[in-house]
Structure 1
């Protein structure tokens, strides 16, 4: 898999997590621990994307 393809894949997962986080936050019974873990996963994806982007250029 090329770096560009990996960046696209990670970007898609990042956007999906963003959608899931928004849905969780809008639920009547929000689980703050789950939201925190989702945000942590989203941040790790963003860090990996940034790292790959710096290597690609």
Structure 2
């Protein structure tokens, strides 16, 4: 993987992590509200999980392949 694509990938991962943290905070705030829309909360949690999965996949691409 070239340095440019590795940098772009790292930058994208950082952006996804920031979005994940923002969702964490939003979910925490909404969870404390007794009148929260449960459907909205579930959608946010699902989005957060999708972000976590995407981050994991992208991080695994940064690990160099080892020749046996």
In terms of Rg, which structure is larger?
A: 2
The TM-score, its normalising length taken from structure 2, stands at 0.79
Matched, 1:20 2:26: yes
| Aligned CA-pair RMSD | 1.0
Greater fraction of residues in helix: 1
Query: Unmatched 5+ residue regions in structure 1?
Result: none
Length-normalised TM-score, structure 1: 0.94
In 1, the alpha carbon distance for the partners of 2:14 and 2:54 equals: 12
* Distance in structure 2 (CA, Å) of the matches to 1:13 and 1:32: 21
Report deviation, 1:20. Answer: 0.3
Name structure 2 gaps, 5 residues minimum.
1-6, 64-68
**2:6 paired with 1:6:** no
Question: May I ask how many residue pairs the two structures share in their alignment?
Answer: 57
Q: Following superposition, which runs of at least 4 residues in structure 1 exceed 2 angstroms of deviation?
A: none
Aligned partners of 2:12 and 2:60: how far apart in 1? 13
1:31 deviates by 1.1
